[in-house]
Amino acid sequence: MYRAILTAAAIGIATLSHAETKVPQSQAEISLGFAPLVKQAAPAVVNIYAKRVVNVRQSPFMGDPFFQNLFRDFGETRPRVENSLGSGVILSEDGIVVSNYHVVGQSTDIRVHLNDRREYSAEVLLADQESDLAILQLKDAKDMPHLELRNSDTVEVGELVLAIGNPFGVGQTVTSGIVSGLARSGTATGNARGYFLQTDAPINPGNSGGALVDINGDLIGVNTSILTRSGGSNGIGFAIPSALVAQFVEQARQGHKGFARPWAGMFGQPIDADMAEGLGLDLPGGIVVSELHDESPFKMAGFETGDVILKVDGQPVNTPAEMIFRMSVAGIGKEAKILALRDGDMVETTVSLMAAPEDPARDTVTTGRRSAVPELVLSNINPAVLGQYGLPLSLTGVVVENPGQVGTRLGLRAGDVLREVDGRTIETVADAERALEKAKRKVTIEIQRGTQRIVSRFRL
């Protein structure tokens, strides 16, 4: 009997090693559970302890519901150490690790602990807040246990998965579940550009950056966040797909410090049922092109407003976030095949993926002490700036990159477009510098924020 059980267990392990997904065929295989899978995957999942020093303003009004906002810039700044705890996944023998930006981004001291109690220091090779991903390099690491990346485009709803990480700092923990949804856009972080796999495997604080693995032990996603009312897992967790992780690793090895996304140079609108009927589509789906920049690679490929983008590289896209994700997975310098509906006909077009042009030059400046708003960082608007701040494609002029201390008190924000200073029209950063230096005792500044025009008046 024991020999039969061991034989069945060996069959189960062999099934895993050959990356073949199948339903358990015996009670012995069912009893075996996920043990062989955990033994295979867990060594490559690490605990990450990170710290950074930040300057915090010590105000006597902190905690007061009214005065803490009124006097938020009052008081001295003092350095304070912030600690973060999370997880990561080793992806190569030489110690390349993927984690979340919110775990290690901007950290000055990173320690990585392996499951076998080894410890390494690490440095950030590439980090991107928008995608909430970061790539680390373990120092003096070799022959590391690691996970293989599976193409997340092959993942299906209902697949069994394990979430491995360090929830609540209690040590490495494994939870199981299924893939409960695909193509979740913007739900996890509030970022409209996000794109996630959804799982019901419990993901708790500290699991961030951990592994979401399939039944064969391959990485299909990096756990990033949850939807919750209580702070704990309620059965809806999100993971960043492995296809995007692969592109991050590639760019990190090429020496990039920030993630370079292809630029679409267009705005599109998801198609609902009413729009689908008017466009002659059997089912709602795709994106109708509503605006194109003159230098957009889509416009260069012949696209016009009113065209409907249905697929990118053979994958359906139903939101702008999905389209940008598909382009990001392909990478800058590559070509993407776009299936579109144009004037009632299906057409397939190849689009060359490119970075947003830095033309005209930003000519970034920081205003001096003689300026009405000192330490204000301004740049000329170009396609790269439009993409960075999500501005309307037709905008020109000058954008606020950093409002500085005085600008923050005046209500300015990064991404605001400076329109006028004391009635003078602002078209370039040189115009803005001159107007702010010539400002009189009473200053009027007009900015554009989204579709709103905001006027700020103050005394020097």
Instruction: Let me know if 152 is a catalytic residue.
Output: no
The active-site residue, picked from 84, 107, 128, 132, is 132
Are 122 and 209 within 8 A, CB to CB? no
Are 123 and 48 within 8 A, CB to CB? no
The active-site residue, picked from 84, 87, 185, 208, is 208
Report the C-alpha gap between 374 and 366 in whole angstroms: 8
Instruction: Let me know if 132 is a catalytic residue.
Output: yes
Instruction: Let me know if 113 is a catalytic residue.
Output: no
Are 183 and 152 within 8 A, CB to CB? no
The set of residues, in sequence order, having a beta carbon less than 8 Å from that of 261 and lying 6+ positions away, is 324, 327, 328, 332, 355, 387
The active-site residue, picked from 102, 185, 218, 293, is 102
Report the C-alpha gap between 447 and 460 in whole angstroms: 19
Length of the chain: 460
Are 311 and 338 within 8 A, CB to CB? yes
Report the C-alpha gap between 2 and 127 in whole angstroms: 51
Q: Which secondary structure element, helix H or strand E, spans residue 179, and what is its range?
A: strand 173-184
Cβ-defined contacts of 190-193 (< 8 Å, 24+): 191/130, 192/320, 192/321, 193/130, 193/320, 193/321, 193/324
Cis peptide before 167 (omega within 30 of 0): no
- Phi (first) and psi of residue 45, to 5 degrees: -100, 130
The catalytic residue positions are 102, 132, 208
